[in-house]
Amino acid sequence: MKFILFLFTASLATAAPVHVDLPTVLKLAGANNDEIQLARAKHTETLAESKLAWQRFWPSLTLGAGYRRTDGNVQDIAGAVFDVSKQQYTVGPNLMIDWSPGDMYYSALAAKQRALAAEQLAEKTRRDIVTQATGRYYDLLAAEASLAIIEDDLRLTQDYEKQIGGAVDAGTAFRADLLRVKTQVSREKLAIRQHQEKRDLAAAALAETLRLPADSELRPAKADLVPVRLLDRKLGVATLLSQATLHRPEMKAASAVNTAAAWERERARVAPMIPNVQAGYGFGGLGGGFNDDFGNFDDTQNMYIGLGWKIGPGGLFDKQRQIIANAQEEATQLQAGQVKAAIGREVVEAAAKAQSAHDQISINDEAVSAAQEMVKLAKERQASQLGVVLEYLLAREELTRARQSRVQAVTSFNKAQHELKRAVGR
């Protein structure tokens, strides 16, 4: 992937325009987009936090040496005060445990679910960017196809202008007809410039999504459009909704967040009842004595273990903590319901757009056929001196509009297919 991106970037620097196809757009959309990288970085962060939560169960180990000296009055256990001059030094490791097992266990489970949620949100971001890139590629493709239609129409109109000009010179046609054709030529040239602007704007939008230089002159590899069906037409809306519930990363993320909130609720309820554990074990050597004596060095070891319960905030009888945890869990459930409702709307809208665009393609096919027949008849009438130039030009305009309308219908259909595929989580 990096090699493909390098070659593509190099081609941008050495040649213009650059022709791209849909597979290339899909690869670049997932390879160089900072929004996707940001989401992946967030997932990496939450995954590290999850692993760290489990690592807190390991005891801490310290290895070192210490020195202590006392001069002057000290007090013994019985209360007597006396003058002393002594010193000691220690060398060795110490193992320390300071656990809150309940908090640590449930916190680790919740952190694991948050990492899963971040992973699914990263996948959602990737799919959103890919869908956006696909839509903008089809916009560029539609602009190029519409431009090709206008250019083809201009070529035919200019040929017709030459024919009418010859007829005017021969005295078999009116100059007004020639001026009418010239006006049509100017109108089509203006339309070409407007479609060129639209194509350039679509290229800039696609370059933004692909994170390519803003001045990249992107062009589609092909200027033709064909309907591309990505999902079985027989699938009903109910089936699509069921698939979306199972496969959409947003639903998986919402489920993981809800599970994390449930573990936090259990943490608030159960963890305070599990005692905290403090333990330590140290071994090594101890030496020293009166005044400046550094002798008497020999091995030493000590051990400590204790259990305790915290009472108050964060511990036993902390009702507010449980209320907060219950409220947070309820909030995540409501948010999951909102996500499910939004996904359902997206599925229904995408299915409706796809069906509507499919029907519009059929209607536009009929319109193109009728317009082609109308142009043919107008040209025949013009050749037999039964028609007028205006009739032929109007027929050509109708054909051009019908062809452009079909381009838009096919573009809408293809975009709706990709949106529907994303909506059902594929």
The closest alpha carbon to 25, from 210, 229, 247, 208, belongs to: 210
Q: Are 53 and 104 in contact (CB under 8 A)?
A: yes
The closest alpha carbon to 117, from 264, 245, 252, 262, belongs to: 252
Domains and CATH numbers, the chain: 2-59+101-276+313-423 (1.20.1600.10)
pLDDT computed for residue 7 by the predictor: 44
pLDDT along the chain (426 residues), means of 10: 46 65 81 71 78 75 79 82 82 81 84 88 86 88 89 84 79 77 86 90 88 84 72 78 86 90 88 84 80 78 83 82 88 90 89 87 86 80 63 81 88 86 83
Gap between the Cα atoms of 33 and 27, Å rounded:
11
Angle between helices 249-270 and 319-383 (to 10 degrees): 170
Gap between the Cα atoms of 258 and 329, Å rounded:
6
Gap between the Cα atoms of 409 and 357, Å rounded:
5
Which stretch of DSSP H or E encloses residue 79? none
This prediction's pTM: 0.76
Phi, psi of 306 (to 5 degrees): -155, 150
| 263-306 pLDDT tens trace | 889 888 888 888 888 888 888 887 777 877 777 777 888 888 88
Q: Are 97 and 56 in contact (CB under 8 A)?
A: no
Provide the percentage of residues in the chain whose pLDDT is more than 70: 93
For residue 138, what are the contacts with CB-CB under 8 A and spacing of at least 6? 411, 414, 415
| 74-109 pLDDT tens trace | 887 888 888 888 888 788 788 887 778 888 888 888
Q: Are 87 and 289 in contact (CB under 8 A)?
A: yes
Gap between the Cα atoms of 293 and 291, Å rounded:
6
β-partners of residue 73 are 83
